């Protein structure tokens, strides 16, 4: 369930991130400090986001995304680069996208991931749910076209030419269902010129494929005697502010996945149990209150008898 974010940009100047000042995900140069050097990072239309489906607006006019030239990208090699922040694959100009307000050329794709045994890894979340990995045995062979080469680019700054392959296979099957909003690059300089498409269906890879991504790379150069693993390269969700997130599909008319069904069944059971316990305790409290009131009544009536007894005495 690794969320693959393919960033498609009309503005290639935004890719010049490597030439600015040093930044990392955690620590002194971590995401809380990005805006010191890159003021756009404190803008009002930042990415990623935790998409709250209850406030998403369905826009039936949003057409399916149509990748063109992804299946047969030609004979030219792709370049895979460890840029110290992610593994980035450059895409040839023969690849572009239809189904967007303009035609967008595919420039590059890259990944965000977590670390072994940890939850999290995706940048975007849906209703607070983050997507670390598909826990399963079924490998997605399309991803081996990239993962098989990571051993050649273990250290920051290393590049390798790889044979071209069917990039469409990296994408989820259903390209008609997605969320759409105006946001930013999720790394410095955080330029707010990205029209985001978040596919509702996730791309799936196996647990062992994920481990190759999480365990195969360093964010430091080969000459560095203290290699730092390249893990947890995801930015925290940013505020929605005045923006609206649209969906190309009506919310709630979905076919649920097995995992979602399990979650719903357990959620419902837990919900029923909570309701039962609440009723149980409320009933118990009411009973106790009644018993106390009865005692009260007994006490009051006995005291009034006592009073009336007193009053009769003189
Ligand atoms: C993104 O911003 C542009 C320009 O303000 C606007 O025309 C467009 O409708 C916005 N798109 C979305 C999905 O919010």
Q: Please state the φ and ψ torsions of residue 204, each to the nearest 5 degrees.
A: -115, 135
179 lines ligand 1 (CB under 6 A): no
Atom 4 (ligand 1) nearest CA = 182
Q: For the segment 24-81, what is each residue's pLDDT rounded down to a tens digit?
A: 999 999 999 999 999 999 999 999 999 999 999 999 999 999 999 999 888 889 999 9
Asked if 199 and 82 count as a contact pair (C-beta separation under 8 A), the reply is no
Give the residue with greater pLDDT, 100 vs 12: 100
- Token pair in block for residue 76: 């030219």
| Residue of 101, 182, 194, 244 with the most ligand 1 atoms within 8 Å of its CB, for mutation | 182
178 lines ligand 1 (CB under 6 A): no
Domain locations in the chain?
Answer: 3-254, 256-314
Query: From residue 303, how far is each of 294, 298, 306 by CA, in Å?
Result: 14, 8, 5
Q: Which of 123-132, 226-235, 286-295 has the lowest mean pLDDT?
A: 286-295
180 lines ligand 1 (CB under 6 A): yes
CATH 3.30.420.250 fits 3-254, yes or no: no
Active site residues: 85
């Amino acid at each position: 369930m690794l969320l693959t974010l393919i960033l498609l940009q009309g503005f290639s100047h935004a890719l010049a991130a490597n030439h600015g000042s040093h930044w990392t995900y955690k620590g002194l140069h971590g995401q809380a400090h990005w805006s010191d050097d890159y003021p756009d990072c404190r803008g009002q239309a930042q990415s990623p986001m935790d998409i709250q489906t209850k406030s998403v607006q369905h826009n039936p006019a949003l057409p399916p995304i149509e990748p063109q030239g992804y299946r047969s990208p030609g004979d030219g090699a792709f370049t895979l680069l460890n840029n110290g922040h992610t593994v980035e694959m450059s895409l040839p100009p023969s690849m572009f996208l239809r189904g967007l307000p303009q035609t967008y050329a595919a420039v590059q794709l890259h990944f965000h991931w977590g670390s072994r045994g940890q939850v999290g890894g995706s940048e975007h979340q849906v209703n607070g749910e983050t997507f670390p990995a598909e826990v399963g045995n079924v490998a997605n062979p399309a991803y081996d076209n990239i993962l098989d080469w990571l051993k050649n680019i273990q250290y920051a700054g290393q590049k390798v030419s790889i044979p071209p392959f069917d990039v469409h296979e990296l994408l989820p099957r259903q390209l008609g269902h997605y969320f759409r909003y105006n946001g930013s690059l999720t790394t410095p300089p955080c330029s707010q010129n990205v029209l985001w498409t978040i596919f509702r269906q996730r791309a799936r890879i196996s647990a062992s494929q994920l481990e190759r991504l999480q365990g195969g790379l360093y964010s430091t150069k080969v000459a560095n005697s203290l290699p730092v693993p390249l893990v947890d390269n995801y930015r925290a969700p940013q505020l929605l502010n005045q923006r609206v997130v649209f969906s190309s599909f009506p919310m709630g008319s979905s076919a649920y996945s097995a995992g979602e069904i399990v979650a719903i069944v357990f959620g419902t059971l837990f919900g029923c149990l909570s309701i039962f316990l609440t009723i149980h305790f409320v009933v118990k409290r009411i009973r106790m209150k009644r018993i106390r009131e009865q005692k009260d009544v007994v006490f009051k009536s006995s005291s009034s008898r006592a009073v009336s007894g007193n009053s009769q005495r003189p």
